Amino acid sequence: MISYAMIRLGFFLFFSVVLFFGCSISDDNGQSIIDKAIQAHGGSLYENSIIEFDFRNRHYVVERDHGIFSYHRIFHDSAGTYHDILNNDGFQRFLNDREIEVDAEWARRYSNSVNSVAYFALLPFGLNDPAVNKSFLGEEEINGDNYFKIKVTFDQEGGGEDHEDVFVYWLNKNNYRMDYFGYYYISDGGGSRFREAINQRVVNGLLFSDYHNYKGPDDLIAVEEMAELYKNGKLEKLSDINLENLEVKRFD
């Protein structure tokens, strides 16, 4: 027969486990959740991959080999074929296979553009960079699924020119997939965006998503509130963000 003391002990152990896990997530600011999310999307495979895709009529090649990176953007116009390269050593631009001089301001702009596409394509990889600060905001239900809610900000040193941007990631509690994220950006007048992952697929061990891209009724809307606006149909769809012709290879 189960005694009253055993029932009390069972309740005590249950609430102790709940308290332990709740505190551990809060105490590490969601670090353990981010670690599991990166692992769910491919983990260490990000650091030994050659990823190719087409995005908005431009071809991208993202090469990462254990800290050595080289990001390529290739496109055509009336002048010929441009090939931009951003790597550990800096930025270069080629036109019809000949390097052309680019002044510092345009090199900065082109670098930011190439890096931004690579950064978004590889998310959540990159969220453990040294300049990233994470805050656990609790949990939220979206369309019947439960999500961990993680806020990300950046240090000025090492955080890049967009270090004032603020991101919030909604990570599925069941599989740690990044089904939604939102961000507030400062550049170009500022604004907020919310992305809903679609067409999630695994390519040679790495998980990728396309997105529906939304904006709020007010560019000053806090990113933390955008999932609630999405659930209530208060966001305006701006575009689809699709990575086409995806291929993933490994360095030998």
Q: Output the 3-class SS for 151-177.
A: EEEECCCCCCCCCCCEEEEEEECCCCC
What is d(CA 81, CA 156) in angstroms, rounded to the nearest whole number? 36
Same domain for 75 and 183, yes or no, is: no
Same domain for 103 and 129, yes or no, is: no
- Bond prior to 217 in cis (omega within 30° of 0): no
Same domain for 24 and 78, yes or no, is: no
Please list the residues that pair with 61 across neighbouring strands. Answer: 52, 72
Same domain for 168 and 184, yes or no, is: yes
Tell me which amino acid residue 109 is.
Answer: R
Same domain for 128 and 231, yes or no, is: yes
What is d(CA 132, CA 167) in angstroms, rounded to the nearest whole number? 11
Nearest CA to 214 out of 228, 197, 196, 202 is that of: 196
Q: Is residue 251 part of a domain?
A: no
Total number of domains constituting the chain: 2
Same domain for 74 and 28, yes or no, is: no
Q: What is the pLDDT of residues 58-74, one digit of tens each?
A: 999 999 999 899 999 99
What is d(CA 198, CA 237) in angstroms, rounded to the nearest whole number? 14
Q: Is residue 190 part of a domain?
A: yes
Q: What is the pLDDT of residues 160-206, one digit of tens each?
A: 666 788 999 999 999 999 999 999 887 666 688 999 999 999 999 99
Domain boundary among 82, 106, 122: 122
Q: What is the pLDDT of residues 209-223, one digit of tens each?
A: 999 999 988 877 889
User: What pLDDT score does 197 carry?
Assistant: 98
User: What pLDDT score does 27 carry?
Assistant: 57
**Which residue range(s) make up the domain with 205?**
1-41+123-241
Domain boundary among 122, 143, 177: 122
